[in-house]
A = this chain, B = another copy of it.
């Protein structure tokens, strides 16, 4: 049994900067550490709070993303930056003082039904802000397989696939069986009764018979996009 006494090698890395606004500590070091700057999750924050955090972030970076935003958040941000865009279906606000560099390769955003579109669009808006090209494939639920199979080549050409589905959430299993690319599954709360607000889709995706499917939280289009963007950046960095 080998036995080594060690101590933490790089404590200095912990001396990272942030800005304390009192109600929030804005992590201005995140771009350096994690590759993307902090994103504002607007739910539960006032327009004023969102604005103050946004200001701090845009003093340190060139793009801004606000998710789970309302029209009130959007108006507050638009007054401060005319470049702001309000993506109503996706419930997102973006500000691009300067666009992110464009990456090679596309990310597929595939969704099972029309009612899953808000979650799919949250993913698509996030991906595009981060410099990725998006292939949207909509309403290809498994009860009419030919609709999915008609898009097989377009899907197979993507670097990563984000698959958004509510109800029984079977679509990621089927997609994973058709391609050799990472599949990130997003369960949605679309449905009723034994769907239990997305639990049926979530459990279905976690227990998928399709190998290598990974899953994010219910309705978390942003999280899936973030993970896909990390992968695509890694691929682009390797070129």
Contacts and interface: CB of A to CB of B under 8 A. Distances in A.
B144 A184 contact: no
Interface stretch (A14-22, A79-87, A93-101): A14-22
A71 interface: no
B206 A199 contact: no
A208 interface: yes
A72 interface: no
Given A22-B138, A114-B44, A10 B152 contact: yes
Interface in A114-132: 114-115, 117
Given A45-B114, A114-B49, A29 B146 contact: yes
B227 A8 contact: no
A163 interface: no
For this chain, the copies found in one complex come to: 8
Contact of A25 (B15, B144, B170): B144
A143 to B, nearest CB: 4
Contact of A214 (B52, B144, B215): B215
Contact size range, A: 35 or more
A211 B228 CA distance: 11
Interface in A156-198: 159, 167-170, 173-174, 176-182, 184, 187, 189-198
Given A16-B8, A167-B209, A194-B202, A35 B142 contact: no
A145 B145 contact: yes
A17 B11 contact: no
A22 B1 contact: yes
Contacts of A177: 33-34, 142-145
A227 B191 CA distance: 19
Given A11-B12, A142-B177, A211-B223, 13 more contacts: A2-B20, A8-B16, A8-B150, A8-B152, A11-B11, A25-B138, A49-B114, A143-B173, A167-B207, A170-B209, A192-B217, A193-B219, A206-B215
14 contacts: A3-B20, A6-B17, A9-B149, A11-B11, A11-B149, A24-B139, A25-B147, A145-B174, A167-B208, A168-B209, A204-B204, A212-B230, A214-B216, A231-B234
